[in-house]
Structure 1
């Protein structure tokens, strides 16, 4: 995955992107959430390969894997 996803301060403010593009992992997730299929994404953005698209999804899954939600109640 490290070969496909890069994050640099000068590229989209440091957001993780598919290597060789200015397409962020966040953008890929937004497209999928809006109903786009992987095939539609690859057709609309020919600079993305299927390997890059898969790497973006693996990166997102790994980023959320250990997410913890704390339910903290602060008395008034």
Structure 2
């Protein structure tokens, strides 16, 4: 998936292979944790300036596609 490689990166030398936003050390799960806690995307982006708005939105779109595909296959 080309979109995945532009948004998500996983390397054993970076946070033990935890999926992070490409070009950063910010775990993808951190965005989901912020949203789950009721924080806005703006707050997340303010706290993690190395993540661009485009990356965050692309990660959410990717999660939506993956969840939809998972639900449709069940």
Please tell me the TM-score bracket, short chain as reference.
0.7 to 0.9
Question: Which consecutive unaligned segments of at least 5 residues does structure 2 have?
Answer: none
Question: Which consecutive unaligned segments of at least 5 residues does structure 1 have?
Answer: 71-76
Query: Greater RCO between the two (CA within 8 Å, min separation 6)?
Result: 1
Size of the alignment, in residue pairs? 70
Q: Greater CA radius of gyration, 1 or 2?
A: 1
TM-score (norm 2): 0.74
Which protein has the bigger helix share? 2
TM-score (norm 1): 0.72
RMSD: 2.1
Does the CA-based 8 Å contact 2:26-2:48 persist in structure 1? no
Partner of 1:21: 24
Partner of 2:70: 67
Q: Distance in 2 between matches of 1:7 and 1:31?
A: 20
